[in-house]
């Protein structure tokens, strides 16, 4: 939940009074052009950065006062950083499980189950660096939700992944959402935007559109989300990362 | 004449343990806009590094602008423009300084070939005093393209120029490529975005170091061997699992708001059959129609016909 959330750097409004609510178990697509302010907003919601104005709560905790509580109750994964390449699959699970305070006994039980579900039994003791990208991403997602967080933030989780693995990844997202985990996801693939329950599109620090993919397409008289996004982001005056 | 040729190029890493490029052969004709389409780890960057003469292949031969990548590497370096996947300009130099640096290296000046970069450079000119490290993604991309063009190369090699870039900037970038092609420059460009294949004259689809198909996007699509159906209902995820569990369904994948489905037999009654399966599972608001496949459908089909990614690594 966000109300008028703002982050100002000098006289530059990276995030300008954004407001939205995400329901439990919802798949929420957080879209925007490069430089629209997505990353800044995500950092605040993950408890890594303070807003300069407005309020927001994540998993019921305040982003200004309860950052540490937020960190314990969320999962995070991005394309750029997800797992330690020079640790084995099991070591990564153990490490991240430990960081999030999952008990040793539980880590052991659940990691064996997880490795089996992913079909990685014979690779469990291999270094993550040796895995193909698609498998790394699937494993990274499983690790991000290993401590059963209330919400998981996914920052371009499928970038560069082959089309089949990309879809398998979304199967996992659906499964997690069905289990009650809220999904907050960014992507540059507009077909993936269609898989979300609702989408927000940020332009120049503001949320310019927020609705279900079907309603957005209707409102913009467009056949695809690609077109909706293009119509919205074309007017952007700033660009950047 | 061919601007780029590869003949059975093979490259392995880690003393032969990792097969990055596996007997890859294809040609890029002079003046063509050619796309190398495939996911990360398919071998695209290794191919670019071999063609730019910064990496030696284990075996096979390749030429760029008529020169051999091993024997005539110096000649090639003067004739190609290269934009690596990772931003590789000098972050501490300004836009203007970077451009001057690359012009000087190639023994030319910004003025000499200004007409070639004018349209692109004009967009970043207002910021010409800004350091490259402080530029936005879209501006970095434009500067890198200017630097790759400053010596008027015959062949432009672009390694994933649009990865991680938003839809608007991607459209702009492809418009720039089209304009460059019209000026007679041959372009070999790689991308993981399947939809960008349609913007190329011809494409090679690559996966696990192997070329799966080389043709025009049109031809690749018409080579799709079976009828393809699009379906949706109120509960799309349940529909996906229901279809996959059905014995008549050969493949079923999510594509935006629809599922794309192929059947094992009797495709002529496919629409009715899929309606029937969905209705039997209690779905509401069912839509089923036959559709024309896209490049991504073809890619998935070809991928499933070849070995699974994991088997190759073993």
Question: For B26, left (φ over 0), alpha (ψ -120 to 50), or beta?
Answer: beta
Among B216, B233, B268, residue at a domain's last position: B216
Mean pLDDT of B30-56: 94
List chain A domain ranges.
Answer: 2-233
Residues B89 and B30 in one domain: yes
Chain A hits for B310, Cβ within 8 Å: 132, 135
Interface of B with A in 35-64 (CB under 8 A): 38-42
Among B216, B235, B255, residue at a domain's last position: B216
pLDDT higher than 70, residue B85: yes
> Is 0.90 exceeded by the ipTM?
no
Residues contacting B104, CB < 8 A, separation 6+: none
Residues B250 and B132 in one domain: no
CA dist B38 and B303 (Å) reads 10
Residue of A nearest to B137 (CA): A240
Q: Is residue B171 part of a domain?
A: yes
pLDDT score at B29: 96
Chain A hits for B169, Cβ within 8 Å: 33-34, 239
Q: Is residue B102 part of a domain?
A: yes
CATH number reported for the structural domain that contains residue B269 in this entry: 3.30.70.100
CA dist B139 and B162 (Å) reads 12
**B169 HSE (CA, 13 A, CB side):** 26
How far A117 CA lies from chain B's nearest CA (Å)?
A: 16
pLDDT score at A1: 61
Q: Tell me the per-residue pLDDT of B192-213, one tens digit each, with 9 for 90 and over.
A: 889 899 999 999 999 999 999 9
pLDDT higher than 80, residue B111: yes
pLDDT score at B18: 85
CB pair distance less than 8 Å for B309 and A162: yes
Q: Is residue B309 part of a domain?
A: no
Give the residue from B206, B210, B256 with the most A CB atoms within 10 Å of its CB, the best one to mutate. B256
Residue B303 is nearest to which of A162, A226, A233, comparing CB atoms? Answer: A162
Q: Is residue B298 part of a domain?
A: no
pLDDT higher than 80, residue B297: yes
Task: Judge contact between B307 and B244, C-beta under 8 A.
Answer: no
pLDDT score at B134: 87
Q: Does B307 touch chain A (CB under 8 A)?
A: no
Q: Which helix (H) or strand (E) holds B18?
A: strand B18-29
Token digits of residue B274: 């899929």
Q: Tell me the per-residue pLDDT of B246-276, one tens digit each, with 9 for 90 and over.
A: 999 999 999 988 999 999 987 788 899 999 9
Q: Tell me the per-residue pLDDT of A107-159, one tens digit each, with 9 for 90 and over.
A: 999 999 999 988 888 888 999 988 888 888 899 999 999 999 999 999 988 88
| DSSP category for residue A83 | S
Chain A hits for B42, Cβ within 8 Å: 162
Residues B154 and B237 in one domain: no
pLDDT score at B307: 52
CB pair distance less than 8 Å for A174 and B253: no
Residues B67 and B15 in one domain: yes
Q: Does A212 touch chain B (CB under 8 A)?
A: no
pLDDT score at A81: 66
Average pLDDT, chain B: 91
Q: Is residue B306 part of a domain?
A: no
pLDDT score at A97: 93
Chain A hits for B174, Cβ within 8 Å: none
In this prediction, residue B148 has a pLDDT band, given cuts at 50, 70 and 90, of very high
Chain A hits for B237, Cβ within 8 Å: 174, 178
pLDDT higher than 70, residue B312: no
Residues B271 and B156 in one domain: no
Q: Is residue B299 part of a domain?
A: no
pLDDT higher than 90, residue B236: no
Residue with tokens 């031809």: B219
Q: Is residue B301 part of a domain?
A: no
Give every residue of chain A whose pLDDT is below 70, as ranges. Answer: 1-2, 81, 237-241
Q: How many domains, chain B?
A: 2
Mean pLDDT of B116-135: 91
Residues B122 and B230 in one domain: no
Q: Does A227 touch chain B (CB under 8 A)?
A: no
CA dist B32 and A97 (Å) reads 52
CA dist A220 and A232 (Å) reads 9
Strand order in A151-155's β-sheet? Answer: A74-78, A151-155, A182-186, A27-32, A198-203, A206-211
Chain B hits for A137, Cβ within 8 Å: none
Range of the domain at B12: 2-216
Token digits of residue B113: 């070939």
Among B185, B216, B247, residue at a domain's last position: B216
What CATH topology corresponds to A2-233? Rossmann fold (3.40.50)
Residues B45 and B120 in one domain: yes
């Amino acid at each position: 939940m966000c109300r008028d959330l703002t982050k100002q750097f000098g006289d530059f409004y990276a995030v300008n009074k954004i407001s939205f609510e995400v329901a439990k178990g919802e798949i929420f697509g957080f879209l925007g052009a490069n430089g629209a302010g997505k990353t800044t907003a995500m950092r605040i919601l993950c408890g890594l950065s303070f807003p300069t104005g407005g309020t927001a709560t994540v998993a019921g905790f305040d982003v200004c006062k309860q950052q540490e509580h937020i960190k314990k109750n969320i999962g995070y994964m991005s394309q750029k950083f997800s797992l330690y390449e020079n640790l084995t699959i099991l070591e990564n699970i153990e490490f991240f499980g430990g960081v999030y305070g999952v008990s040793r006994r539980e880590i052991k039980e659940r990691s064996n189950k997880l490795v089996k579900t992913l079909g990685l039994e014979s690779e469990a003791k291999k270094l993550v660096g040796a895995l193909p990208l698609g498998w790394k991403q699937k494993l990274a997602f499983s690790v991000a939700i290993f401590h059963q967080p209330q919400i998981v933030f996914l920052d371009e989780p499928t970038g560069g992944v082959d089309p089949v693995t990309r879809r398998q990844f979304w199967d996992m997202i659906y499964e997690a959402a069905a289990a009650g985990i809220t999904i907050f996801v960014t992507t540059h693939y507009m077909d993936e935007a269609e898989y979300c329950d609702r989408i927000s599109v940020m332009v120049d620090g503001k949320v310019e559109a927020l609705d279900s993919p079907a309603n957005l397409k209707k409102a913009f008289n467009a056949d695809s989300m690609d077109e909706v996004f293009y119509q919205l982001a074309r007017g952007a005056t700033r660009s950047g990362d | 004449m061919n601007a780029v040729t590869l003949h059975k190029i093979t490259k392995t890493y880690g003393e032969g343990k990792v097969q990055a490029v596996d007997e890859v052969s294809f040609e890029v004709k002079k003046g063509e806009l050619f796309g190398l389409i495939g996911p990360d780890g398919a071998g695209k960057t290794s191919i670019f590094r071999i063609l730019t003469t910064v990496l030696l292949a284990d075996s096979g031969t390749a030429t760029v602008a008529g020169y051999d990548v091993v024997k005539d590497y110096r000649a090639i370096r003067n004739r190609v423009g290269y934009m690596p996947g990772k931003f590789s300009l000098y972050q501490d130099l300004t836009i203007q300084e970077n451009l001057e640096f690359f012009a000087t290296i190639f023994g030319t000046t910004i003025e000499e070939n200004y007409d070639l970069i004018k349209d692109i450079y004009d967009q970043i000119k207002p910021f010409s005093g800004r350091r490259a490290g402080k530029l936005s993604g879209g501006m970095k991309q434009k500067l890198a393209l200017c630097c790759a063009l400053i010596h008027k190369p015959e062949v432009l090699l672009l390694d994933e120029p649009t990865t991680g870039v938003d839809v608007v900037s991607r459209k702009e970038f492809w418009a720039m490529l089209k304009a460059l092609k019209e000026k007679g420059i041959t372009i070999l460009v790689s991308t993981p975005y399947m939809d960008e294949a349609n913007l190329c004259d011809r494409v090679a689809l690559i996966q696990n170091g192997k070329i799966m198909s080389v043709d025009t996007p049109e031809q690749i699509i018409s080579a799709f061997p079976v009828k393809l159906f699009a379906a949706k209902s109120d509960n799309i995820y349940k529909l996906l699992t229901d279809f996959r569990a059905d014995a008549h369904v050969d493949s079923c994948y999510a594509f935006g708001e629809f599922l794309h489905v192929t059947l094992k037999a009797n495709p002529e009654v496919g629409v009715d059959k899929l309606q029937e399966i969905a209705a039997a599972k209690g779905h509401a608001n069912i839509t089923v129609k036959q559709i024309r496949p896209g490049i991504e459908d073809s890619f998935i089909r070809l991928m499933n016909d070849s070995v699974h990614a994991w088997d190759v690594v073993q």
